[in-house]
C-alpha cells in the first residue's frame, strides 16, 4: 500500500504593499477645483474639460435638441464658475455639476412653458400638442432621436428616471409635479418610445 502524497506547500504571498498616500490624479483634480474656486481661469478650464462631455450628454437627453443642449451646457458652466466658490465638497464635483445641469434644464423648460402659455391662446387643445412621431418600420429612429421626439414633460421624466436613476419623489421635488402625474408621464413616454421604435 502506498502512502498519500504530501500536500503541496505554496510559499506565503508577499506582504501587501502599503497604500499610496494619495492618488496623484485625484489630488490634481482636487487642486484644480480649489484653484478654480479661488478664481483661476486655467484651473476652471481643466475642470470644464473633464466634465463637459457628461454635462452636454445630460442636457441633450433632457432638452432633445442639440442647439438647446449646447446653450444649456454653456449656462451650466457659467453658473458653475459663479457658484464654485460656494462648493463645499460634500459630494463629488461631478455630482454637483450633474445636479446643477438638471436644475438649469428644468428652469429653462419652466420658462419656455410659461412663455408658450402667455403667447399661445387657443380653444383647440390638440393644436398645443407636439407633433406625433411618424416613421415606417423600415425607417426607425434610434433611441436618442426617439427620446428627443417625446413631449417635453414626458422626456424630462423619462431621462431623469430611466437614464439618470432619480426616484419619483426626487423628480417630484425637482419639477414641482405630483408623483401621480410623473408616473403617468413616464408611462406615456415608454408607450411613445415603443411605438417610435416599432416594438
> Any idea what the Cα angle at residue 193 is, between residues 188 and 197, rounded to 5°?
155
Contact (CB, 8 A) for 44 and 84:
yes
pLDDT of residue 59: 92
pLDDT confidence of residue 37: 87
Digits of tens for pLDDT over the chain (199 positions)? 555 555 444 344 444 444 345 677 777 788 888 888 888 899 999 999 999 999 999 999 888 889 999 999 999 999 999 999 988 888 889 889 998 998 898 888 776 655 555 555 556 655 555 544 444 433 344 677 888 888 888 888 888 888 888 888 888 888 888 888 889 998 998 888 888 877 6
Closest CA to 176 of 92, 91, 79, 103: 103
C-alpha distances in Å from residue 94, one per residue of 23, 97, 110: 18, 5, 24
Distance CA(157)–CA(127), nearest Å, equals: 23
Q: Which domains does the chain have, with CATH numbers?
A: 30-119 (1.10.1740.10), 130-196 (1.10.10.10)
Number of H-type helices and E-type strands within the chain: 8, 0
Amino acid at each position: 500500500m502506498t502512502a498519500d502524497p504530501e500536500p503541496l506547500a505554496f510559499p506565503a504571498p508577499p506582504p501587501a504593499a502599503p497604500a499610496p498616500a494619495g492618488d496623484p490624479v485625484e489630488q490634481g483634480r482636487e487642486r484644480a477645483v480649489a484653484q478654480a474656486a479661488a478664481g483661476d481661469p486655467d484651473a476652471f478650464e481643466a475642470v470644464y474639460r473633464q466634465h463637459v462631455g457628461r454635462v452636454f450628454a445630460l442636457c441633450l437627453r433632457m432638452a432633445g435638441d442639440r442647439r438647446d443642449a449646447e446653450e444649456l451646457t454653456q449656462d451650466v458652466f457659467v453658473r458653475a464658475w459663479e457658484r464654485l466658490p460656494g462648493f463645499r465638497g460634500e459630494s463629488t464635483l461631478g455630482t454637483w455639476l450633474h445636479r446643477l445641469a438638471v436644475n438649469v434644464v428644468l428652469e429653462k423648460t419652466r420658462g419656455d412653458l410659461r412663455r408658450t402659455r402667455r403667447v399661445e391662446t387657443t380653444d383647440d387643445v390638440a393644436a398645443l400638442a407636439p407633433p406625433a412621431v411618424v416613421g415606417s418600420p423600415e425607417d426607425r429612429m434610434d433611441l436618442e432621436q426617439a427620446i428627443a421626439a417625446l413631449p417635453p414633460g414626458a422626456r424630462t421624466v423619462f431621462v431623469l428616471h430611466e437614464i439618470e436613476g432619480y426616484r419619483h419623489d426626487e423628480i417630484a421635488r425637482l419639477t414641482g409635479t405630483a408623483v401621480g402625474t410623473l408616473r403617468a408621464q413616464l408611462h406615456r413616454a415608454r408607450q411613445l418610445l415603443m411605438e417610435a421604435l416599432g416594438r
